[in-house]
Structure formats: C-alpha cells, structure tokens
Amino acid sequence: MAAPKRGRRPAGGQGKPGRTLVLILIALVALTGGMFATGDTTPRLGIDLAGGTTITLKAKAEPGKESAVNETNMNTAVGILERRVNGLGVSEAEVQTQGRSHIIVNIPKGTDSEQARRQVGTTAQLYFRPVLQVAAGAPVPQQPTPGASESGKPAEGKDAKDAKDGDKASPSASTGTSAQPGGSTPQGRAVTDALKDPSPGASEPGKPAEGAKDGKDGKDAAKTPDPAPTGDVAALQTAFATLNCEDQKARAAVTESARPENPMVSCGKNSAGQWEKYLLGPAEVDGKDVDDAKGQFDQNRGIWIVTMDFTDKGSKKFQKITSKLSQQQSPANQFAIVLDGEVVSAPQVNQTLTANAEISGSFNQKSAQELGNMLSYGALPLTFQEESVTTVSAALGGEQLRAGLIAGAIGLALVIIYLVAYYRGLAAIAILSLLVSAALTYVLMSLLGPAIGFALNLPAVCGAIVAIGITADSFIVYFERIRDEVREGRTLRPAVERAWPRARRTILVSDFVSFLAAAVLFIVTVGKVQGFAFTLGLTTLLDVVVVFFFTKPLMTLAARSKFFGGGHPWSGLDPKRLGVEPPLRRSRRTTVVTTDLKEA
Amino acid sequence: MSRLGTIGARLHRGEIGYDFVAKRWLWYGVSILITIVAIAGLAIRGLNMGIEFKGGAVFTTPKTSASVSVVQESAAEASGHHAIVQKLGNGTLRVQVSELDTQQATKVQTVLAKDLDVPADKINKELVGPSWGKEIANKAWTGLGIFMILVVIYLAIAFEWRMALAALIALIHDLTITVGVYAIVGFEVTPGTVIGLLTILGYSLYDTVVVFDGLKEGAVGITKQTRWTYSEIANRSLNGTLVRSINTTVVALLPVAGLLFIGGGFLGAGMLNDISLSLFVGLAAGAYSSIFIATPLVADLKERDPQMKALRKRVLAKRAAAAARGESPDAEDLADTGGDEPDALDGDAAPAGAGVVAPRGGRGRGRSAGRRR
C-alpha cells in the first residue's frame, strides 16, 4: 500500500497461478488454526455491543500549564487510572489513551460501573490542607443527596439534629463500625475522622487520638481560629459565609479558581451525606507525596481504617503540618483531604506524625477502601474532565450487533445479486474472493483482539459492511478491464494477462487513497471513530492482498477453463454479448472464438 | 443488466457517448446551483445538532408499550429539562434530554425504569458533556485538513497537479452537498454522521481516481497526434470508464443501503443509521461529481496549458484543411495517425489492428464536439 506505484510483478503470473492460490489458502488455514489455537475464535466485542460502560476523559489544559498535557503525563495518568480501576476489583477493565488528550476507560458489564465511574471520573488532584473553619454547608439542613454513602444512613437523623442544635458530637456508632469504648468518634466521616500514628500503641484505646471525641461539629466550628496567613482572607470569609454547598454551580465556582498555594473555600459531605463547608489553608502536602494508602480492617478494634505511607519528601511535609496542627484547638486541628476541590475527609490531628499514619472514623469496608484508593492513586498529573459516559445493556448491545450483522448479510447478498446479474459466471470468482476476504477479516479481527486490544464495536461493524463495497470495487475494475480487452477482440487468456497490469495500477492507486483516508481518520480521531477507521484500513489492505494473491491467480486459472476461456454465454465474457462483431480481428486464437460463437 | 453491458460495449467502441466535457458548463451550473441551495440551507436552517454537541443524555429503553407522551412527561419531570422521545422501529424508546449531569441522569434512568417497569440496568444511558461533540468535530476538521493536503500531494505525484486540484474541488463539492442535504432535510448530526462524512473522503476519491487513471492512460503521447484535443480525449476516457464508475458506485451503495434501510429499520436510529445516511448521500454526490465535475475540470485546466493550446490549434487546422479539401477526414486520419491514436498509445498494445476497433465511431463524435466549440 505504501508504494502503490512500485511495479510489483503480477502475483503468480501466468506460469504458476496454482501455487499462489495454494499459498494464500495455506496462509488462511494457518491463521485460522492460530485463531483456534489461541482460543479466541470470535472478535472481542466492544462495550457498545457486549454491554458495559465506556468513559471518555479529556485532560484539561490548565492556564499557564498547557504543556502539561504531554505523552508522559498521559501515560502516568493511564497507569494510575488502571490501578485505580483494578483496585476496585474491576476485572478486564481497560484504560487507554486516545489521541493526545483523551483517556478511554472501558468497564465491562457485571462490575459496579457506577462506583468505578465515580472514582475514575472524579479523582483527579489531591491535596492535604489545614482546616481553618468549618460550618454546615447549607442554610437549612436538608435530606442527604442520593449519593450519600450507606455508612452515613443510620447516623443521619442524629447528625441532622446535631447540626441544628449545635451540640457536641455524641459518639454515635454508624454502620459497620462498632463504637469502641472511649474510642474515636465515628460519626461524620468527613469531619470526625481521627488521624493517628499506627505504631503499636496507636491501636490501644485511650491514645491521644481520643480527643477526637471533642466537638468539632459543624456549628461549633463557627468560632474563628487562627487568622489565615494571607491577605485575601476577608474575601474568602465572605465567600465562606455565602457559600451554599447544596448548589452544584456554587460549589464548582469556589473551587474553580483555587490554587494549591492559596487558601480556599470548599465543600465536603460528612458520612451522613450532608454538606459541610470548609475554609482551608494553602496545600501543605501533595497527593504525590502519598506512597501508598489502603483501607484495612483493624482486627484489634474491629473497625475499618485507612492507613497511609508517605514518601520521604512527604513524611517531612507531613511531619511539619501535623506538628503544627496538633497544637491547635478544634476545628483547626483538622486537615482536609481535598480531592478535586472537594473535601473527602477531614481527620483531626492529635500528635505529630511522620511516615505512617492512619485515619480512623466511621468507615465501612467500601468507604475505607475507596478513600485508600483515592489517596494512593489520587495524584494524577493532570486534571480530567468526563466527556462522555455510555452505558449499554448487554441486551441492547446484542440487538445492535444482530441488526448490524443482518444488514451486512443483506448488503452482501445485494452485492452478490448485482454481480451475478451483471457479470454472470465471473461473479463466482468475485464471490469466492469476497468470501476469502471476509474469512481473512474475521480471523484477523479475532486475532487482533488479544494482540493489540482491538475490539469490534458498532462503527467497526459499519466499517466492515462498507468495506464489502470497496472490495467488490476492485473486482469490478479488473473485470471491466478484461472485458475491454475482450471487446478489442482478444481471447480470454491474453485478455486476462493484459488487463491485469492496468487494473492493478488503478486498484493500488484507489486503494491507497482509501487507506490514506482510513489512516488519517485513525490517527486524528478518538473513541468510536477509531474502530471504524481501523476496520476500513484493515479491509482495504486485505482487499489488495486478496486481489493480488487470490482473484488474479484464480482468474488466470479460470481463463484456461472451457467455460470462461470459451466465452460461454453465462461466463460473463461472451464476446458476442460484449459486442465483438464478426469478422473478428486477426488474433492468435481467432479459431477458438469463432467456434464459440457458433456455440452461442 | 446486460443492456448496461451492451451500452458498455458501445461506449467502449465509441459508438455512443455523452459529451460530458463539451456540456460541462451545464453541469457546472447544476453543481453551482446545488451548492448555493446547500449553503443557503445551511445558513437558513442550520444543522440539527445531536445531543453529543449540546451535552446531555440519551436513554434507550427495552421494548415497551408505554406511549411516547407519557414517557416524555415523566422524563421531563424527572430532569426538569425538555425531553425528546422517539419510538424506534423495534418498539424501543429513545429518550434524549439535554443539559443533564450525572446525578440527574441517574435519576431520570431510575424514573424511567419505574415507569416502564423494567430494571434500571436494562435502560442504556449515554451521557455526554457538551464539549464531546465539539471534540469529535474538531478532530474531524483536523483530519479533513490533513487528509486533503496528503491526498492532493499524492494525486499530484501519481497524476499531476491539475488532477489533484480537480479532485479536491470535487471532494469539497461532495462535502458541501452532503452537509447541505443534512441542513435542508433536518437529519440529526451526530458523531456517526461525522464518521460517515469523513469516509466519503476516501470513497468519493475512489471513483475519481478510477476515472483519472483511465484519462492518464488515454492521454499518453497526446502531443504526438493531431486528431483529438485534450478535452475530446478526456471525454472518451470518461465514457470508457463510465460503466466501471456506475458499477463501482452501485456496488458501494448496496451495502450502505442495506445498513441504512435494514439496519436502521431494525433499530430505528443510532450509530448504524447515522453513518450510513451520510455515506449514502455522500456516495451519490461523489459518483456524480467524479463524472460531471472532476474530469471536465481537468480538461478545462489542461486546455490552458500552452502545449495543449498548440495541440488544439493543430487539430482544428487539420480538420479545417480536410474539410476544405472535401476529403473524408477519417480516411486520412487513419492513414497518418493510425498507430498513434490514444487507445494504442500505451506501449504494450498489440500494434496490429489496434486502430481498427477503437476509433471508428468515436472520431465522428469527437470531431463534431470539437467543431462546436
């Protein structure tokens, strides 16, 4: 394809067409054998045909950091997302880059696609910020939004009351965690998580962390702690006072402009699913400083906790912030784990911590593991934006595949009918070639599934159907050439050979244009379009292979047969029908032609 | 069919032939008219952009007996936005709601599931941000630009710059018509449409390339003969490849038609339909432009070449002289240029008799065409 003008010798020239045919058939058999050997006997189906969820993310170029969207960062992000998705126990989920700034996450049916989506889509940038002030997020206590974690449900009523009354938090137990004797208070996750050193002593009740019990309920926090270090605090105070966390737009607005080095206002939900608003200091620790984090079950206390390990650099920073925070009064002894502008957790600090730390609170298995995942994989080098999410049920996917296959079969049948009607016997050669082409396409698609991750999606099915036309076009170009030669009075054998070099050039030039279109489409586009372009390019290449190594030799063989070579009326090469009028021009094989004309 | 075959034979021998090149202004006019209508349609009606370009969600329900209006109401109520509900061929419903975020979309899904009494996971949800379609469209434009540059370079090398230019104009012409049809009929523009549109690129050029290939071959050694002008040869080549072009177009359209009418009939709407519809319109336009626009354009461009101008002068002078002498020009032509006529020019033609079959009818045609101008 790359060099269509290169004068390739006619494949299996007149001398040994049989050998070429045998070769391509052997290749076909070998590939089919390979397909069965690998056990992948059907093409891998895309999410839109098999059912599942596809998430398309786009890296956002941040002002002043446009060059951050580069290959290295994209690959890092893919790695992180992959670990994160698989960290959820999602099997066979795929994460791939597409184009320069897109990442596609495919989650097959049968996994918790909603949860995966939430993590994949929302987890972007993670910072640890000191908490300056906390307040209830909404003017009136409201029902928890549907997204509230289950763990919060049972505690909900109580918490709502707490917020109203301005009471100190009572050590109310929440689902999955038994309140321990005098232990940390596991009521609102965001606000009440406690942070401590997981050193042996840490698991004992009665450690400093127990101070967690002390009030740091939303209302309580209204008293302002230390003044924030920067000058624009007044503006932030106003923003803090007016912020209504129930309003998604307002939430987005305050976090939008926040920079890690400046204080910010943010919202977060407590375990009851209620919004709390926070006034936060500048980021002290970066998500990248977290080496590892996981949700773990603490056997001693019978509760779920999240453990964190910091990198060397991270430990230093963490030590600094914890030593400072542990001196503060509540709520300023908390730091907020801010993910993508939203507070996911705000544990309080009661001691100076270094490399290892744990967060305890009202976690259940799910929320502990989620937070662990966010912490360990949260440090994406880029900010991503969810561009499209497609969820297809297996039933509808199957139906679409069926419709595509039926349409393809009918399209193929129409092409065959047309070819038979127009080319008569010649159509047999075209049909055989189409079948070989179809078989090769199928086998290659099956093999390419595991090899390069090719998945047959709906546009790819479309591409394959459209390719029937492209493939048939090549035969038409060749057949018409042969007929032109026959019209000029040649008999079939020389006609077949003389027509070939010219047809070959036309086929190569036009296939090259098709291939070019497919290649450009494949390179510049994203998502579904790529599947289409890939199929189109693949079938165009196969078209060249089939025409060169199958159709041409087969035609040469056919020309030797009496049916074709003799110009049988049904062969499609009947000279009389093609308008060759006697007297025929002097030709080497005039006799044959005249004999056949009598027959006709 | 065999009638087409007979026509093919007669076209091949030059017994019949439509003078595309001489009547090119008629077809240019037709094309300009169509293009104006297309652009006007685009300007006045605009394109009906799908949800992918506006942002929102599309839900596809399983087969249901619920009425469109009921579903529309409940979807609108659940989302607080206007919902478009379509009943598809297979009894399923397609619900489009614009400007939804994730949470609202989940809510609508739940409500729909309850209304239709099916499990929520049986309802497909496609959620797109408003920038998604723009992204695809932007990439499409980039792809279009890159492709056009590459293909023009390629055609300029494989053929010559005039053909490359003519092919490019024909391509833009096809795209304009297709987009115009979308604007006027009001078909919805989705990423599938964009895919289809991009595929037209390769396809529209396929036909053009087949014709140009014939033309290139026909024009080998053109300056060594004095019987035909470039335009006449272009027209002969065009007629010679006419059956081939018709056949390739028909064969390309058949599977696309299968996709459009049968695939679409089963599913009513969606990716299959979107791709095949734009392909169908584009392919038809592509076939038309490769015959009526691309080749005449090449002839027009080529006739400006000094060499071709000189050739035209020689040809006309010769014809005038022959007419003045009152001789049958055919006999003379045969005598002095018999071996040079285009069909036999490509080196490997059998010298014997190559001139006997081909020129017979075509010459008369070519001549009269030449005179008219």
Each residue's pLDDT tens digit, B237-264: 888 888 888 888 888 888 888 888 876 6
A61 in contact with B, Cβ within 8 Å? no
| Chain A residues touching residue B170 (CB < 8 angstroms) | none
Residue ranges of the alpha helices (H) in A299-452?
312-325, 365-377, 394-423, 426-452
Alpha carbon distance, N-terminus to C-terminus of chain B = 35
Q: Which residue has the higher pLDDT, A521 or A504?
A: A504
DSSP of A64-92, one letter per residue? T-GGGSSHHHHHHHHHHHHHHHHHTT-TT
B63 in contact with A, Cβ within 8 Å? no
A vs B: CB pairs below 8 A: 284
Q: Tokens for A579, please give them.
A: 């308008």
**Interface contact B262-A458, CB threshold 8 A:** no
**What architecture does CATH give domain B56-128?**
2-Layer Sandwich (3.30)
Q: How open is the CA angle A411-A417-A422, to the nearest 5 degrees? A: 130
**Interface contact A466-B353, CB threshold 8 A:** no
Q: Tokens for A315, please give them.
A: 């430990």
**Interface contact A388-B127, CB threshold 8 A:** yes
The minimal CB distance from B202 to the residues A56, A462, A513 is found for A513
pLDDT tens-digit series, residues B147-162: 888 888 988 998 889 9
Q: Residue A194 burial (CB < 10 Å; 0-12/13-18/19+)? A: buried
The nearest alpha carbon in chain B to A477 belongs to B244
Nearest Cα neighbor of A415 from B226, B369, B247 is: B247
Q: How open is the CA angle A172-A244-A271, to the nearest 5 degrees? A: 20
Q: Tokens for A563, please give them.
A: 């049916």
Residue A9: partners with Cβ closer than 8 Å, 6 or more residues away: none
Tell me which residues of chain A, numbers 391 to 410, contact chain B at a CB-CB cutoff of 8 Å.
391-393, 395-396, 399-400, 402-404, 406-408, 410
What does DSSP assign to residue B269? S
Residue B131: partners with Cβ closer than 8 Å, 6 or more residues away: A58, A385, A387, B55
**Interface contact B150-A520, CB threshold 8 A:** yes
The nearest alpha carbon in chain A to B105 belongs to A389
CA dihedral A486, A489, A490, A496 (to 10 degrees): -10
Cα B201 to Cα B247: distance, rounded to the nearest angstrom: 19
Cα A331 to Cα A133: distance, rounded to the nearest angstrom: 7
pLDDT bracket for residue B29 (50, 70, 90): very high
CA distance A585 to chain B (A): 7
Amino acid identity for residue A382 in this structure: L
Amino acid identity for residue A522 in this structure: F
A506 in contact with B, Cβ within 8 Å? yes
CA distance B153 to chain A (A): 11
Q: For residue B35, what pLDDT is reported?
A: 92
Q: Tokens for B232, please give them.
A: 């006449």
Q: Which residue has the higher pLDDT, A325 or A15?
A: A325
pLDDT tens-digit series, residues B6-27: 666 666 666 667 788 888 889 8
pLDDT bracket for residue A170 (50, 70, 90): very low
Contact A179, A171 (CB under 8 A): yes
What does DSSP assign to residue A527? T
Q: Residue B273 burial (CB < 10 Å; 0-12/13-18/19+)? A: buried
Tell me which residues of chain B, numbers 303 to 342, contact chain A at a CB-CB cutoff of 8 Å.
none
pLDDT at residue A530 tops 80: no
Q: Which CATH superfamily is domain B15-49+132-302 in?
A: Multidrug efflux transporter AcrB transmembrane domain (1.20.1640.10)
Q: For residue A300, what pLDDT is reported?
A: 82
pLDDT bracket for residue A580 (50, 70, 90): low
B148 in contact with A, Cβ within 8 Å? no
Q: For residue B30, what pLDDT is reported?
A: 92
Q: Tokens for B4, please give them.
A: 């087409």
pLDDT tens-digit series, residues B157-176: 988 899 999 999 998 999 89
pLDDT-above-70 percentage for chain A: 66
Residues linked to residue A338 through DSSP beta bridges, in sequence order: A127, A343
Q: Tokens for A441, please give them.
A: 């396409």
A419 in contact with B, Cβ within 8 Å? yes
CA distance B126 to chain A (A): 4
B129 in contact with A, Cβ within 8 Å? yes
The minimal CB distance from B262 to the residues A99, A410, A525 is found for A410
pLDDT tens-digit series, residues A48-59: 777 778 888 888
Residues linked to residue A357 through DSSP beta bridges, in sequence order: A308
The minimal CB distance from B256 to the residues A469, A476, A515 is found for A469
pLDDT bracket for residue A165 (50, 70, 90): very low
**Interface contact A514-B202, CB threshold 8 A:** yes
Nearest Cα neighbor of B114 from B70, B80, B81 is: B70
Contact B152, B164 (CB under 8 A): yes
Give me the residue label for tokens 């009894």: B91
pLDDT bracket for residue B40 (50, 70, 90): very high
pLDDT tens-digit series, residues A118-150: 666 554 567 788 888 788 776 544 444 444 344
Amino acid identity for residue B359 in this structure: P
Collapsed DSSP state (helix, strand, coil) of residue A583: coil
Contact A495, A482 (CB under 8 A): yes
pLDDT tens-digit series, residues A251-274: 766 666 667 777 888 888 776 677
H/E stretch holding B238: helix B230-240
**Interface contact B258-A579, CB threshold 8 A:** no
Cα B186 to Cα B169: distance, rounded to the nearest angstrom: 25
Which part of chain B has CATH 3.30.70.270? 56-128
Cα A464 to Cα B360: distance, rounded to the nearest angstrom: 44
A518 in contact with B, Cβ within 8 Å? yes
Contact B193, B187 (CB under 8 A): yes
pLDDT at residue A588 tops 50: no
Collapsed DSSP state (helix, strand, coil) of residue B233: helix
Q: For residue B145, what pLDDT is reported?
A: 86
pLDDT at residue A490 tops 50: yes
**Interface contact B129-A386, CB threshold 8 A:** yes
Q: For residue B353, what pLDDT is reported?
A: 36
Tell me which residues of chain A, numbers 10 to 49, contact chain B at a CB-CB cutoff of 8 Å.
48
**Interface contact A385-B243, CB threshold 8 A:** no
B117 in contact with A, Cβ within 8 Å? no
Tell me which residues of chain A, numbers 529 to 568, contact chain B at a CB-CB cutoff of 8 Å.
529, 532, 536
Q: How open is the CA angle B303-B306-B312, to the nearest 5 degrees? A: 55
pLDDT bracket for residue A209 (50, 70, 90): very low
pLDDT at residue A111 tops 80: no
pLDDT-above-90 percentage for chain B: 7
Q: How open is the CA angle B241-B246-B251, to the nearest 5 degrees? A: 125
Residues linked to residue A179 through DSSP beta bridges, in sequence order: none
Q: Which residue has the higher pLDDT, B322 or A109?
A: B322
Contact A348, A194 (CB under 8 A): yes
Cα A517 to Cα A529: distance, rounded to the nearest angstrom: 12
pLDDT at residue B33 tops 90: yes
Cα A295 to Cα A371: distance, rounded to the nearest angstrom: 7
Q: For residue A155, what pLDDT is reported?
A: 39
ipTM of the complex: 0.76
| Chain A residues touching residue B252 (CB < 8 angstroms) | 466, 469-470, 472-473
pLDDT bracket for residue A92 (50, 70, 90): low
**Interface contact A393-B124, CB threshold 8 A:** yes
Cα B193 to Cα B39: distance, rounded to the nearest angstrom: 18
Please tell me the pTM assigned to this model.
0.65
Q: Where are the beta strands (DSSP E) in B157-236?
A: 188-189
| Chain B residues touching residue A395 (CB < 8 angstroms) | 62, 122
CA distance B196 to chain A (A): 9
Contact A443, A28 (CB under 8 A): yes
H/E stretch holding A553: helix A552-560
The nearest alpha carbon in chain A to B208 belongs to A510
Neighbours of B191 (CB within 10 A): 28
Q: For residue A544, what pLDDT is reported?
A: 92
| Chain B residues touching residue A518 (CB < 8 angstroms) | 202
The minimal CB distance from B209 to the residues A5, A99, A510 is found for A510
Average pLDDT of span A439-449:
87
| Chain A residues touching residue B202 (CB < 8 angstroms) | 513-518, 536
Which part of chain B has CATH 1.20.1640.10? 15-49+132-302
pLDDT at residue B271 tops 60: yes
